[in-house]
Amino acid sequence: MGTHKKFLERAIELSLAGMNNNSGGPFGAVIVRDDEIIAEGNNQVTSKNDPTMHAEIVAIRNACKKLETFDLSGCKIYTSCEPCPMCLGAIYWARLDKIYYANTREDAAKIGFDDDFIYKELDLPKDDRSLKVEQLIDPKAKEVFKKWEEKENKIKY
């Protein structure tokens, strides 16, 4: 566990520091490549008035900026807590190789961060979810997708 311990402890330190300086909730994350910390993040939801500023998202944004890429293949993320659905999605989109975490989502629920609600909502059919959704058909939207499909100089991600 040697190097894992070092990186996980740094994520935990960030969670405590962010909480103590009132940046946001008790969550921290570090992104590592080749046994070196590339980027760090702590939860900044309340200090930035931005519900997307979770520790993992902040760390991903910082890593992408530092490495000047949207593809973080070859990197791993260490988090103080199991990622919420939003962060998990971002981790997949960023193509991180592996997630290491300390606290579970059940631990987070016990202190008032109940991500399980969102996990359960995602398993429901759209019509049964508490957040109602409705598709509005517009042929112009399909045309934009067609143009993207035909675009020769697009950058795939």
CA distances from 30 to 48, 112, 140 (A): 19, 23, 41
The pair of structure tokens assigned to 80 is 């103080």
Annotated catalytic residue: which of 13, 56, 149, 150? 56
**Annotated catalytic residue 56:** yes
Cα dihedral 74→72→97→49 (10° resolution): 150
Query: By CB neighbour count within 10 A (0-12 exposed, 13-18 middle, 19+ buried), where does 58 fall?
Result: buried
CA–CA dist 51, 43 (Å, integer): 10
Q: What residues are annotated to the active site?
A: 56
